[in-house]
Amino acid sequence: MKLFKYIFWIFYRVWFYVLVAIPIIGLMPLLLISISREQWYPYFFKLARFWAKFILVGMGFSYRIKKEEIPNPKSSYMFVANHTSMTDIMLMLVSVKNPFVFVGKKELAKIPLFGFFYKRTCILVDRSSPKSRQAVFLRAQRRLQQGLSICIFPEGGVPDESILLDEFKDGAFRMAINQQIPIVPMTFYDNKKRFPFSFFSGGPGKMRVKIHNFFSTEGLTTEDTKDLNKSVRVLILENLYQDQKLID
């Protein structure tokens, strides 16, 4: 029985990368056109949402999105969520209709095919470089001025699987305060179970998302960054704890 499980997990992991590649190859001409000008990014975003849905459905994931508040299509936001899996990118894309730009680690740009578009459409950050972090703020500011939103996973990476929710970095909250845009907290409940980074684990099933009520940054200053960070993290952590208790 264990042998069959290991065979399934190997196939399942390979199948994920096949699904990542198929839409990119099939949509290559449209993707290349959509990234040729910054103002065409919303068209790229629509293609990216199709790509994400294709992968999630192909992996046997059914996603359920609960919204306590709905983003205004004409407004800009800072979307933040817990980070537990490679599928977080896809689930974020299918959960949010407002065109947003990811701020993510530069290492992902090395992934074949995916990395080509990732480094041309996302804001890459080298967390070991203060100069890189400053450049991120400037690029994000320009994208917000273009009417887009920003998405950051504030844990700064995928934590050890034994950690329910790691400490949050301040960058997303400082940026939201500086630009006076609302923060949209989101909880991903099942991604770690469905497709964790440990190779021999995971499988098809439901992926639940909750879009919480927004946190306003109106009137806040950078001195409020830590408190805002803590409030958002506590909200997501409490939801994860409550869900864990229900499962146990």
Q: What is the predicted pLDDT for the residue at 134?
A: 77
- Rounded Cα distance between 214 and 184, Å, is 5
Q: What is the predicted pLDDT for the residue at 135?
A: 84
Quote the pTM value: 0.94
**Whether 85 contacts 192, CB under 8 Å:** yes
The answer for residues whose C-beta is within 8 angstroms of residue 111's C-beta and 6 or more apart is 118
Q: What is the predicted pLDDT for the residue at 113?
A: 86
Calculate Rg over the CA atoms of the chain: 18
Q: Per-residue b/e over 207-226, b at no fewer than 16 CB within 10 Å?
A: bbbbbbebbebeebeeeebe
Average pLDDT of adjacent 10-residue blocks, the chain of 248 residues: 85 96 96 95 97 98 97 96 95 98 86 89 80 82 94 85 91 95 98 90 96 97 97 98 79
Q: What is the predicted pLDDT for the residue at 209?
A: 98
Q: What is the predicted pLDDT for the residue at 128?
A: 67
Which residue bears the tokens 């998302």?
Answer: 209
Q: What is the predicted pLDDT for the residue at 107?
A: 81
Q: What is the predicted pLDDT for the residue at 248?
A: 58
